Amino acid sequence: MTQQNHSSIDNRPKNYIGSALLFISIFSTATVVGLILFALFWTPFSVRYKIARAWCVLVVEMSKFFCGLNYEVEGLENINPQNAAIIFSNHQSAWETLALRVFLPTQAAVLKKELLYLPLWGWALVLVKSIVIDRSNQRGALKKLVEEGTKRLNEGIWVLIFPEGTRAGAREVLPFNVGGAVLAQKSGFPVVPVVHNAGDFWARYSFLKYAGTIKVKIGAPIDTKGRKAADINAEVETWIKDELAKL
């Protein structure tokens, strides 16, 4: 793929209509799906997750239809759905928060509690076993992450973590928080690193989406048993930086 122009002047055509239609479609369908999830709160987790995943598939397809936004995944052979793991992904946009549920195994995402303030949509996140943490209480957040994350992993549910803690700019990797690595250290479950360049097309805080193909690479599982959290973080962060530069 030809690298996009990242100078202060962006010469790519602006897709205002497609971006507007995608925005409207996401929020309208999210409302419907949220209502469905609440109506089916009594059903097994597997049923609720399939409904939520179907919505993620829909959004990814709508992104393609309205904005010409495709994606390619490399490294799916590194995924064994039968062996739960912790996903460490870089974070550049809203795209990966949805798309990773499309092609990776059943997962519980680690979320900041502020997302629960969103009526209906935020509340529905609880129904798919998300791990909600209070970042203002670091000790309590770390304890909850380790306890609930280990529980999910033992249930066979993968745990999705964005170790940067917030969205970075395109081609940028922010310093990693330690929480995910501590979970890996204490639980002994492997880390599967994931890197993408979604920020080139669906930038943080940007209404506009650009046509193109998002590249996603999945690395080989990283063994964490007997290792320190700092070492785990350093290895994954280095891998993501190196691979992002190649995308």
Number of domains forming the structure of the chain:
1
232-236: long-range contacts at Cβ-Cβ below 8 A with a sequence spacing of 24 or more?
232/181, 232/184, 232/185, 232/191, 233/163, 233/176, 233/178, 233/180, 233/181, 236/88, 236/163, 236/176, 236/181, 236/191, 236/193
| Model pLDDT for residues 201-227, shown as the tens digit of each residue | 999 989 999 999 999 999 999 999 999
- Exposed / middle / buried, residue 136 (Cβ in 10 Å: 0-12, 13-18, 19+): exposed
Q: Is residue 6 part of a domain?
A: no
Q: Residues 172, 139, 105, 222: is their CA dihedral positive or negative?
A: positive
Do residues 95 and 64 touch, judged by C-beta distance below 8 A?
Answer: no
Q: Is residue 5 part of a domain?
A: no
Which residue has tokens 């995402």?
109
Sequence-ordered alpha helix ranges (H) in the chain: 16-39, 45-67, 95-103, 121-126, 138-154, 179-187, 229-246
> pLDDT at position 2, please?
40
Q: Is residue 8 part of a domain?
A: no
Q: CA-to-CA distance for 145 and 139, rounded, in angstroms?
A: 10
A 10 A CB-CB count for 21 gives 15
pTM to 2 decimals? 0.93
Q: Which residues of the chain fall short of a pLDDT of 50? A: 1-7
CATH number of the domain where residue 35 is located: 3.40.1130.10
> pLDDT at position 118, please?
83
Q: Is residue 60 part of a domain?
A: yes
| Model pLDDT for residues 68-81, shown as the tens digit of each residue | 999 999 999 999 99
Strand partners, 89: 194
> pLDDT at position 9, please?
63
> pLDDT at position 7, please?
43
Q: CA-to-CA distance for 160 and 90, rounded, in angstroms?
A: 11
**Backbone φ/ψ region at 68: left (φ over 0), alpha (ψ -120 to 50), beta:** left
Range of the domain at 55: 16-246
66 DSSP assignment: H
> pLDDT at position 23, please?
96
Q: Is residue 215 part of a domain?
A: yes
> pLDDT at position 61, please?
98
> pLDDT at position 119, please?
81
Q: Is residue 46 part of a domain?
A: yes
Q: Is residue 231 part of a domain?
A: yes
Greatest Cα pair distance, the chain, in angstroms, is: 52
Q: Is residue 7 part of a domain?
A: no
Do residues 76 and 31 touch, judged by C-beta distance below 8 A?
Answer: no
